[in-house]
Amino acid sequence: MDFKDSVAIQLIEDKLGCGFWKRNVGADEMEWSRGLFRLYGRDPERDRASYTLMRQTQHPEDRLTFDKIDGNVRAGTLFDREYRVVLRDGTTRRLAHRGQVIFDAKGKPDFDVAVVWDVADRKQLLEEVLAEERRLRVILEALDLFIRLLQTGGLDLDPVVAHSQLTAPLTRLS
């Protein structure tokens, strides 16, 4: 499979923002698609695709997961991981990849292939949803307090005191 010349692969990468790689089991040399070079912030004209480059580009705290992936490859299991890569400008990008081991005719692991995609948008969206959920929970608590105060006649008519009673739950938002 030659990623560079495949029109179908390029179309998939352009539309889905993903990339692909292939590696013979145990080899350092890899084949990376243009999309993978883009996700790793690398230049296919200057950088040689390799397992070493993949490990060096990975965030130091996430590198151990590749040791586990190597074990999965040797055992012939599927692998599904998230990790960060450090781009040339020092920023990080969160990626996920799902790979599969391909076996030879004798049943031994021959090579592995994977698809890689950027998951930063998903993480950011989740954080935004969770923040909105916290905000709505506090608003509902404040509304509940307001209703209880009205029902019990406990709302002070002094505007400063009433404001304090009603906004106390909202201070947790900041």
Nearest by Cα to 58 from 105, 116, 10: 116
The whole-number pLDDT of residue 30 equals 93
Domain region containing 157: 125-173
Q: In what helix (H) or strand (E) does residue 112 lie, and over which residues does it extend?
A: strand 109-118
The whole-number pLDDT of residue 64 equals 64
Considering the domain architecture, whether residues 110 and 43 belong to the same structural domain is answered as yes
Q: What is the spatial distance between Cα 59 and Cα 64, in angstroms, rounded to a whole number?
A: 10
Q: What is the pTM of this model?
A: 0.66
Q: With contact defined as beta carbons under 8 Å apart, do 101 and 112 qualify?
A: yes
Q: In 58-158, where does DSSP find H-type helix? A: 64-75, 120-152
Residues 6+ apart with CB under 8 A from 163: none
The whole-number pLDDT of residue 158 equals 57
pLDDT per residue over 74-115, tens digit each? 676 677 888 999 999 999 999 998 888 888 899 888 888 899
Considering the domain architecture, whether residues 148 and 113 belong to the same structural domain is answered as no
Considering the domain architecture, whether residues 142 and 94 belong to the same structural domain is answered as no
CATH number at residue 31: 3.30.450.20
Tell me which of 80, 102, 118 is where a domain ends: 118
Tokens 């709302």, residue located: 155
pLDDT per residue over 19-58, tens digit each? 999 998 878 899 999 999 999 999 999 999 998 999 899 9
Question: DSSP state, 29?
Answer: B
pLDDT per residue over 113-158, tens digit each? 899 999 887 777 778 788 888 888 887 777 777 776 766 766 555 5
Q: What is the spatial distance between Cα 66 and Cα 79, in angstroms, rounded to a whole number?
A: 10
